[in-house]
Structure 1
Amino acid sequence: MQPGWDDFRFVKAVGDRRGLTGAAELLGIDHSTAFRRLGAIEKALDARLFERGRAGYVPTPAGRAMIEAASRIETDVAAFSRAVAGGSEEVAGDLRVTAPAGLAGTLLMPILASFSQKYPAVRLDLILADETLNLSRRDADVAIRASRGPDETLVGRRLTAVAWAVYGRADRIYGPLADEAWIGLREGVAGGLFHRFMKGRAQPERIVLRLNAVTSLREAVASGIGIAPLPCFEGDADPTLRRLGQLEPELRADLWVLTHQDLRRSARIRAFMDHVAGAIVPLRPAFEGRLS
């Protein structure tokens, strides 16, 4: 029996997730089904595809060859999909957008609402994620992303700088910030940027709470747990908070709206990117931390 595309996709999922549990979650099947399926593929090929060990499922030479073939197929399928989507001249159809979870509430939802009113034939699919989704694989069609330099395969527009500062509760008096309780982020968040920032400002014993995402920082500061860096468009808009110093240049980033270069001619993608830019560019003073 020759393996089909679904078999290649399954084996790649096992390799990417280093095991059956992660592959099953990714593909929406249960663990026992994944176990039986891998056994059936190996039996049909008369080849062992993975070695099972403490480090997870490690591909054998046959497994690596199958994963590499699946990656090539996936790349070709994504390129074909982008080419078809990129030629669309109608502002209609599905549009998958990814954005940081922190932008979802007061900023992003009104923008999506006004876009939907203007272009009712476009069906939006919003993915809120702090991690960077792959636009080449069409994990999303458009990304609203904080970045210091987008990937060379992407095209789009820089919307604004995003300034950060340290904030605390407005109803408290603070002494030297190094002596205060801090709220930090885990080392892996944003490539360790916030971890490095904290190392220069607070001793480990003064970090009373660590979070694994930027999303809940403002709520943690507002609750009085400690002080923390926040984007100024969030911190300045909250009357219960106040800045405790100057802008922090090492945390500054730029906010972009981006798509893959193959999709730049799609009418619905152009319409969405123009709409987002039209809504966010006038808000630059707030994003850049320019207090009135």
Structure 2
Amino acid sequence: MNTTAKTTTAKTLAWDDFRLIKAIADTRALPAAATVLGLNHSTVFRRLGQIEEALGLKLFERHRSGYVATPAGDEMTTLAERVDEDITAFARRLAGQEIKPAGELRVTTNDTLLVDLLTPVFAAFLGQCPDIRLDILLGNQSLNLSKRDADVAIRATDNPPETLVGRRAARIAWALYGRIADFPEAADIAIESLWAHNWISLGDQFTGLKAVRYLNQHVAPERIVYKVNTVLGLAEAVEAGIGIGFVPCFIADTRPGLTRLAAPDPGFAADLWLLTHPDLRHSPRVRLFMDFIAGELSRMKPLIEGDKAISPRQG
């Protein structure tokens, strides 16, 4: 193919062509790329052939392990990533310049915070801001706020990402709880006297949590009779009489069937953060939401931070 022909075909490339090549490079498989793009497999196969024919170059080698980009495919994928980042950054800047607090706001948090703390707060916010719609995304993994996977993250962490900005709303306290039927005269019990009891813990995937590491270090494995992979299940298991365990105070202190066996351990606490991308912090929607949620969480600090005396019966 001569230089004139190559120049002509290069001008026919569209942004959708770059997106398609990037999707194939990311997934290394046409069916998976088709899912990402919202197309069917045959369409992706046909368009890849058309792009390679127009360029006069192979963009992928077909191996048993999948589609592997050639140098030309790598270059096209890199350019697509750069353009995608530029478009996303432009969209963030526009969102940060909006005039009226209206439209959709995507908020990511985890199921525990949503169910036991945030849902009434979100309801109150929507009651005051009827022009804003909330899209709540649940998960413990960090979403990419740079790519607008979410606008605001509400997370329990002592190490928020340096790429985000926000405020610390409270410090989440954890304490040791048992079923009140099993400990009717609960007081500040020496924890050493409880090692022989049945214990409840989060699963091994939560070894980053201080309370889980503490149990693994001090409680015999055979005494940890129940593990669960969500904090939501901890209080349920204690209340069901399966065993005793460390639970966030904002969950356990609202349950009449549970009683504290010891004061909150400051070493188990974690910060509760409201986070957003720097480009979005001046967006009226984001600013209004974060100010409102911070105010509500500040009002709820005694509950979140476990600020109550140990008593025989807690409700």
Normalising by the residue count of structure 1, what TM-score does the alignment of the two structures yield? 0.83
Partner residue, 1:104: 114
Partner Cα separation in structure 2 for residue 67 and residue 87 of structure 1: 30
**SS across alignment from 2:274:** strand
Partner residue, 2:60: 48
Partner residue, 1:197: 214
Q: Among 255, 259, 262, which residue is 1:242 paired with?
A: 259
Tell me, yes or no, if the aligned pair for 2:30 and 2:44 is still in contact at 8 Å.
no
Q: 1:118 to 1:43 in 2, by over 3 A?
A: same
Sequence identity percentage:
42
1:226 Cα deviation from its structure 2 partner: 2.6
Q: What letter corresponds to residue 304 of structure 2 in structure 1?
A: F
Partner residue, 1:285: 302
Consecutive unaligned residues of structure 2, counting only runs of 5 or more, are: 1-8, 53-57, 184-190, 310-315
1:207 Cα deviation from its structure 2 partner: 2.8
Partner residue, 1:221: 238
**SS across alignment from 2:218:** coil
Tell me, yes or no, if the aligned pair for 1:42 and 1:48 is still in contact at 8 Å.
no
Q: 1:245 to 1:106 in 2, by over 3 A?
A: closer
Question: Deviations 1:59-92 (Å, cap 9, x if unpaired)?
Answer: 4454654544343233212211110000012111
1:265 Cα deviation from its structure 2 partner: 1.1
Partner residue, 2:179: 169
1:104 Cα deviation from its structure 2 partner: 1.7
- Decide which moves more: 167-176 or 224-233: 167-176
1:283 Cα deviation from its structure 2 partner: 1.2
Tell me, yes or no, if the aligned pair for 2:96 and 2:280 is still in contact at 8 Å.
yes
Partner Cα separation in structure 1 for residue 282 and residue 301 of structure 2: 27
**SS across alignment from 2:262:** strand
Tell me, yes or no, if the aligned pair for 1:51 and 1:59 is still in contact at 8 Å.
yes
- Decide which moves more: 33-42 or 115-124: 33-42
Question: Deviations 1:139-169 (Å, cap 9, x if unpaired)?
Answer: 1111111121322222221111111122222
Q: Among 167, 180, 197, which residue is 1:157 paired with?
A: 167
Please say if 1:135 is aligned against 2:145: yes
Partner residue, 1:267: 284
- Decide which moves more: 85-94 or 101-110: 101-110
Partner Cα separation in structure 1 for residue 196 and residue 141 of structure 2: 32
Partner Cα separation in structure 1 for residue 149 and residue 172 of structure 2: 25
Consecutive unaligned residues of structure 1, counting only runs of 5 or more, are: none
**SS across alignment from 1:161:** strand
Please say if 1:179 is aligned against 2:191: no
1:20 Cα deviation from its structure 2 partner: 6.4
Partner residue, 2:79: 69
Question: Deviations 1:95-139 (Å, cap 9, x if unpaired)?
Answer: 111122112235212212221121111111111222221111111
1:192 Cα deviation from its structure 2 partner: 6.1
Partner residue, 1:37: 44
Q: 1:169 to 1:61 in 2, by over 3 A?
A: farther
Normalising by the residue count of structure 2, what TM-score does the alignment of the two structures yield? 0.77
**Max radius of gyration: which structure?**
2
1:183 Cα deviation from its structure 2 partner: 2.7
Partner Cα separation in structure 1 for residue 241 and residue 164 of structure 2: 41
